[in-house]
Amino acid sequence: MSIFANNILVTGGAGYIGSHIVEQLIKKKTKVFIYDNLITGHKRLINKKAEFIKGDINNFRQISKIIKDNKIDSIIHLAAYLNIKESEKYKKKYYKNNVGGTLNLVKACKNTNVKNIIFSSSCSVYGDTSGLVKENKKPNPKSYYAFTKYKSEVIIKKYSKKLNYKYGILRYFNVAGASKSGKIGEIEKSHGHLIKNLAIESVKSKPLISIFGKDYQTKDGTCVRDYIHVSDLADIHISALRKIHNNRKSLIINCGYGKGYSVKEIVDIFKKIKKKTLIRYKKRRRGDVSQVYADISKLKNILKWKPKYNNIKKILISAIKWEKKLAK
């Protein structure tokens, strides 16, 4: 039995997070269409039980045809460029793909069966902040990548009234780990995320780990962040989609565990796994705040969602296992 929707389109479904969402949708016996240009997505992550269509989110004619021909009723939109540093250098590229692509997608929903859109946003839209972050905090994006996410949120909200669909905007905190199936995980190495970097170092005989800053106002002097397992994040997408489909009310939800782990805490766990790890402390990186973690009251109270993988050691181990598989 399908969870509720007949035909779900996942843009960016061959990417890290998208592939985990597709995996869970397939388990729910839902008809899934993956739309991905494979620039940041990977053939290896394409679920064989879904229908894959190679294409670009800026191709209005193609995306319109897919939505209409396949009677798509729900869309999970992840297709985007993600590199924060690159976004500052190639602003036109990021605007065209992330913002223009989102506008294309929602316009393609006109006079179709689409009633629900889930959008992959980011906690980076909040800008400089510290401590517990609630969804009602006014967005103040600092990076150009964050700006494109915020602009996309605005577009999705604006067109929801014109085109009569409901939306779920999910603001991710720090996503990590890999599916316990062992079939999918994070391949992209350029994003500079701590747990991915640790996993990459884990396949080396003498891992070298850099910690940026040890003088923050935290319990051990290193930055504190809220990490969420990618499979739990995928489950939130399905819970949010079910909620807006059944209640016909749009929502904005933080996606994290509501708890922060310091860089040193995570590195210490890693050192127990890889005994010969070398630690190198460096100066603070510009723009890094001391600690950020999600207020997940809405996640718990509105979606009634409960995590399955809320264990930082298990998240790290799952990432390491996946990296070893990639290294073979």
Q: What phi and psi values does residue 155 have, to the nearest 5 degrees?
A: -65, -45
Reported as type and span, the H/E element at residue 207 is none
- Given the residues 81, 145, 159, 172, select the one marked as catalytic: 145
User: What is the three-class DSSP state of 263?
Assistant: helix
SS (H, E, C) 149-203: HHHHHHHHHHHHHHHCCEEEEEEECEEECCCCCCCCCCCCCCCCCHHHHHHHHHC
94 is catalytic: no
Please tell me the distance from the alpha carbon of residue 317 to that of residue 99, in angstroms, as a whole number: 35
- The radius of gyration of the chain from alpha carbons, rounded to an integer in Å, stands at 19
What are the CA-CA distances from residue 327 to residues 37, 191, 204, 210 (Å)?
24, 18, 10, 22
Burial of 299 (0-12, 13-18, 19+ CB in 10 A): buried
Please tell me the distance from the alpha carbon of residue 294 to that of residue 305, in angstroms, as a whole number: 14
The catalytic residues are 145
